[in-house]
Amino acid sequence: GAQHVIAMFGATFLVPILTGFDPSTTLFFTAMSTALFLLINKNMLPSYLGSSFGFIAPIAAVASAHKGLAVASFGIMVTGILLALIGVLVHYAGAKWIDIIMPPVVNGAIVAIIGFNLAPSVWNNFKVAPDTAIVTLVAVLLVAVLFKGLLGRLNILIGVIIGYAYACFRGQVDFSAIGKAAWIGLPEFRLPQVDFTILPMFIPVVLVLIAENVGHVKSVSQMTGRDYDDQIGTALFADGLGTTIAGFGGGSGTTTYGENIGVMAATKVYSTAAYWCAAAFALILSLCPKFGAIINTIPAGVLGGVTTLLYGMIGMVGIRIWVENKVNFD
């Protein structure tokens, strides 16, 4: 369970930091969403639901329009509702119709655009402290290249820690908020504010979440030797429900995590008990405001370095969808 918590930390906390959401609230809803996912799938499908990077672009667009995070929460909630409805359809009608209305050429393009459109936000953080950004980026890449297995899969977390240590040495970290934060307390919950004009920015994220969930379910099937195709519908529904609840309470949208699937591949442990432990541990941490305050001290330079890689990877996922499905553009 501890390994799964560590695996999801790097990506899960980057999303709220980059979007302005509260890290403790986000962690609280990842724990709740994971528990719901396991219950809905009757403990048959091992997976952890963490923050989805697919929501960063629409949240940033809402922020640039000065509409506020409550409006963004409405977009997240509606996205979750749509995903849950699609999950119900897939459960009863099968998943083949998804390939018909969302062929690889379309799905790949949407995912690639979401990733590459985040480049301006990378530069905004990168230019604040270029040296720290470069140290962080190089650290992430070196860990991925030099280490295999679990350590290699934790390259984002380890890179952020190294970049954070360098930023501390350079005096770029403000620790004042940590001392003011309480040890125990509830996360900051926030109700959504209805604004239908922002929905066109969020609806494409549904396609990203479908692609992530379907891909991860198939990956788990390959690792375990079990056929989980009949679980795709319930997986989509569970993720949609988790995202809906997160949006309603002020958390970031969720998705099944490839990082945790990597942990299963490394440890060969496929029990859902480990994910229950991870969810419980995440819930405990979410009730410690001081922990959330520590996460919020991660400086812009570190974020700029790690997101240079992450956003590029999101864009490349879209291109990989084209390659794996042998899309012909002629």
**Dist CA 129 CA 257 (whole Å):** 30
Nearest Cα residue to 249 out of 330, 190, 183? 190
**Dist CA 93 CA 231 (whole Å):** 13
**Dist CA 129 CA 305 (whole Å):** 9
**Cα-based torsion angle of the residue sequence 83, 223, 306, 177 in order, rounded to the nearest 10 degrees:** 70
Report pLDDT for 192: 95
| Residue showing tokens 């929905």 | 199
Per the domain annotation, does 198 fall within a domain?
yes
Report pLDDT for 6: 61
Contact in structure between 242 and 76 (CB atoms under 8 Å): no
| Residue showing tokens 């977009």 | 75
Q: Where are the alpha helices (DSSP H) in the chain?
A: 2-19, 23-40, 56-64, 69-93, 96-101, 104-116, 119-126, 130-146, 149-153, 155-169, 176-180, 199-202, 204-224, 232-249, 258-267, 273-286, 289-295, 300-324
Q: What is the pLDDT along the chain (330 residues), one digit of tens a residue?
A: 555 566 666 667 778 888 889 989 999 999 999 999 999 988 888 888 888 888 988 998 898 777 889 999 999 999 999 999 999 999 898 877 777 777 778 777 777 776 777 667 677 778 888 999 999 999 988 988 888 776 777 787 888 899 999 999 988 888 888 888 889 999 999 999 999 999 999 998 998 888 878 877 877 777 777 877 788 899 999 999 999 999 999 999 988 876 666 666 656 666 788 788 888 988 998 999 888 888 888 888 888 888 787 777 777 777 877 887 777 776
Contact in structure between 122 and 307 (CB atoms under 8 Å): yes
Query: Tokens for 124?
Result: 């905004």
Per the domain annotation, does 330 fall within a domain?
no
Contacts of 78 (CB under 8 A, 6+ apart): 199, 202, 203, 247
**Dist CA 200 CA 9 (whole Å):** 30
Contact in structure between 202 and 74 (CB atoms under 8 Å): no
Report pLDDT for 85: 96
Phi, psi for residue 260 in degrees, rounded to 5: -75, -30
**Dist CA 87 CA 237 (whole Å):** 4
How many Cα atoms occupy the beta-carbon half-sphere of 146 within 13 Å?
9
Q: Map residue 256 onto helix, strand or coil.
A: strand
Q: How far is CA 84 from CA 103, 151, 237, 290, in A?
A: 20, 34, 4, 34
Q: How far is CA 1 from CA 151, 221, 292, in A?
A: 16, 20, 20
Report pLDDT for 71: 94
Question: How many domains does the structure of the chain reveal?
Answer: 1
Per the domain annotation, does 329 fall within a domain?
no
Per the domain annotation, does 249 fall within a domain?
yes
**Dist CA 50 CA 260 (whole Å):** 10
Query: Tokens for 229?
Result: 């195709």
Report pLDDT for 157: 80
Q: Which domain holds residue 166?
A: 2-324
Report pLDDT for 78: 97
Contact in structure between 259 and 11 (CB atoms under 8 Å): yes
